[in-house]
Amino acid sequence: MTDDRERWALILGASSGMGEATALTLAANGYRIAGVHLDFRAALGHVEEIKAKIADLGSEALYFNMNAADDEKRAGALAAIRERFDRSAAEGRTPYIRVVMHSLAFGSLVPFLSEDPKAGVDRKKMEMTQDVMANSLVYWVQDLWRGGFLAPGSKIYAMTSEGSTRVVPSYGVVSSAKAALESHTRQLAMELARLGTGVTANTIRAGVTVTPALMKIPERDAIIEAATRRNPTGRMTTPQDVANTILALSGEGTEFISGEVIGVDGGEYITGS
Ligand SMILES: NC(=O)c1ccc[n+]([C@@H]2O[C@H](COP(=O)([O-])OP(=O)(O)OC[C@H]3O[C@@H](n4cnc5c(N)ncnc54)[C@H](O)[C@@H]3O)[C@@H](O)[C@H]2O)c1
């Protein structure tokens, strides 16, 4: 079946790691890219490089430097995307967001129990991490669905990790956000199906991958050592592995895959400790 609509990917976390690799891969395969990221001065040069690469691939990059968990900012970004879609529609094309990827890494890496209250989790850290890494997916999808940005064939992906079901000393807050994110994605998958939208939602469970987010985890050296030892392929997962999977899963014939947690790790998870 051919799809002659104008395909867009909305990538939350499009300036680094898995989101960056997926933006570039989808851009190379006919998608236009709307990217949301949160970067400060030192990192902005890299964002400009990504946008230039997307343009060199013959695609288009609409990037927003903002907190993806801010309701007003989300409304502003969606208004800008709407304006861009209106221009395409005026030229006789049918734009829609085929891929939504939630790839935000922003969490407190602290234990629950700490003698020094400042060094442990508190309500603000807990709620901010949950809001960015889990709940924001729901609010984006609500607005995308209500706003008519999604259409039959659209695919939603959220990024989880083995940490949703395992414990690491500093990862408790993120771990709980990952468990919630998986649950949110299942719920969205079910509601989108019952509404007859033709939109699917799945969680991608990537293996341990060297990115800026991983390097912020205090236990990173032990995590990298264990992943390298356990992974039966003899190497760790890369952002490109995730990007290739999202491209393939977003092709034709995958509309009955929904509500799943899909491992992209070369068998790292099943190999155990
Ligand atoms: N790296 C790993 O080993 C690994 C494994 C499994 C799952 N994951 C998950 O994959 C996702 C992507 O991780 P990554 O390793 O590619 O991270 P990364 O640090 O390379 O990229 C994170 C992206 O999120 C953006 N971001 C962070 N907070 C934001 C906010 N509040 N608003 C808007 N943008 C924000 C950053 O600007 C960046 O573009 C995360 O959800 C992470 O938990 C990572």
Q: What was the pLDDT predicted at 3?
A: 86
The verdict on the CB of residue 226 being under 6 Å from ligand 1 is no
Q: Ligand 1: does its nearest atom lie under 6 Å from the Cβ of 103?
A: yes
Pairing of strands 95-102, 32-37: unpaired
Distance 84 CA to ligand 1 centre (A): 26
Sheet holding 95-102, edge to edge: 61-65, 32-37, 6-12, 95-102, 155-160, 200-206, 261-264
How many Å apart are CA 172 and CA 126, to the nearest integer? 10
Q: Which one is predicted more confidently, 218 or 60?
A: 60
The domain that contains 176 carries what CATH number?
3.40.50.720
36 lines ligand 1 (CB under 6 A): yes
Tell me, yes or no, whether 270 lies in a domain: no
- pTM value > 0.85: yes
- pLDDT tens-digit series, residues 125-179: 999 999 999 999 999 999 999 999 999 999 999 999 999 999 988 899 999 999 9
The 10 Å CB-count burial string (b at 16+, else e) for 131-149 is bbbbbbbbebbeebbeeeb
CA of 13 to the centre of ligand 1 (A): 6
In a domain, 217, yes or no: yes
Residue 268 lies in a domain: no
CA of 4 to the centre of ligand 1 (A): 32
Q: Which atom of ligand 1 is nearest to the CA of 18?
A: 16
- What pairs with residue 209 in β-bridges? 237
Give, in order, the Cα–Cα distances in Å from 192 to each of 81, 179, 253, 255: 22, 20, 18, 12
* Residues in the chain, total: 273
Instruction: Supply the range of the domain harboring residue 89.
Output: 6-263
Residue 273: pLDDT band (50, 70, 90) is: low
Does ligand 1 come within 6 angstroms of the Cβ of 159? yes
Answer yes or no: is 128 within a domain. Answer: yes
Q: Which residues of 187-196 are buried (b: 16+ CB within 10 A; e: fewer)?
A: ebbeebbeee
Q: Could you tell me if residue 113 is inside a domain?
A: yes
Cα–Cα distance measured from residue 218 to residue 257, given in angstroms and rounded to the nearest whole number:
35
Q: For ligand 1, is residue 37 a contact (CB within 6 Å)?
A: yes
Q: Is any ligand 1 atom within 6 A of the Cβ of residue 213?
A: yes
Rounded distance, CA 184 to CA 158, Å? 9
pLDDT at residue 272, rounded to an integer? 77
Q: What is the pLDDT of residues 240-265, one digit of tens each?
A: 999 999 999 999 999 999 999 999 99
Q: What is the pLDDT of residue 1?
A: 57
Could you tell me if residue 273 is inside a domain? no
What's the total number of domains in the chain? 1
* Rounded distance from Cα 46 to ligand 1 centre (Å): 15
Q: Does some domain include residue 232?
A: yes
- Best mutation site among 70, 129, 211, 269 for ligand 1, i.e. most ligand atoms within 8 A of its Cβ? 211
Q: Which protein residue has the closest C-alpha to ligand 1 atom 17?
A: 213
| pLDDT at residue number 2 | 73
The 10s digit of each residue's pLDDT in 42-98 is 899 999 999 999 999 999 999 999 999 999 999 999 999 999 999 999 999 999 999
Q: Whose CA is nearest to atom 22 of ligand 1?
A: 105
